[in-house]
Chains A and B, each alone.
Chain A
Amino acid sequence: VQLVQSGAEVQKPGASVKVSCMASGYAFSSYYLHWVRQAPGQGLEWMGMIKPDGGSTSYAQNFQGRVTMTRDTSTSTVYMELSSLRSEDTAVYYCTRGVIGSYGPRLDSWGRGTLVTVSS
């Protein structure tokens, strides 16, 4: 399993950023992909998830209205776009595969992360 994320971004406050995550080594449509972010020196924060088969999404309330997750099944790639960026959005954004089990999903494979810096 490999999740390859796009490179670091620097954006101005108010702008948008779109991070990609290309999956390989497994059946892309069979597993949800989640996005988790980590601000500098801080803990992990779940942002949302997308089901590649059909494209249904679920977002954390904190990001509702600002985040959009999409997928391209032809390239096994998912995207996370975050708009109206503010300095507090400076963080590493991880793409991670969710495996469904009897006790909910577990995040068993992670991309290397994409650093998004929001600065004027």
Chain B
Amino acid sequence: DIQMTQSPSSLSASVGDRVTVSCRASQGVNSYLNWYQQQPGKVPKLLIYAASSLQSGVPSRFSGSGSGTDFTLTISSLQPEDFATYYCQQTYNMPPTFGQGTKVEIK
């Protein structure tokens, strides 16, 4: 299975900050990479697919980049509702595998 490793595991940031979350695959996954957000006590929500495509309805402050083994999720200006856990997922090989998550907390 392809291992997905996210860094950091958690971070503290303030409203308005620019935040980046990294995701590294144990082997190349081309652009077969999705990002999900899970707010506390809620269901996961798709943010980004195909590494950089914004899901319909997701605010434009979210963006994704990367290809191959290294990917980044960027929040350009952190909002109160963005405090959540973020997961990357590769769909290049079966089974699709998730990173362990990055928790974004309030500073």
Contacts and interface: CB of A to CB of B under 8 A. Distances in A.
| A and B are interacting partners | yes
Interface of A: 36, 43-46, 58, 60-61, 94, 96, 101-108, 110-113
B98 A43 contact: yes
Contacts of B83: none
A111 B34 CA distance: 18
Given A101-B49, A105-B91, A106-B49, A46 B97 contact: yes
A46 B44 contact: no
Contacts, number: 62
B74 interface: no
Interface in B84-107: 87, 89, 91-92, 94-101
A103 B31 contact: yes
Interface string B36-76: 10100001111001110001000000000000000000000
A60 B95 contact: yes
22 contacts: A43-B98, A44-B36, A44-B38, A44-B87, A44-B101, A46-B89, A46-B98, A58-B94, A60-B95, A96-B44, A101-B50, A103-B31, A103-B33, A103-B49, A103-B50, A103-B91, A106-B55, A107-B34, A107-B36, A107-B44, A112-B43, A113-B43
Contacts of A101: 49-50
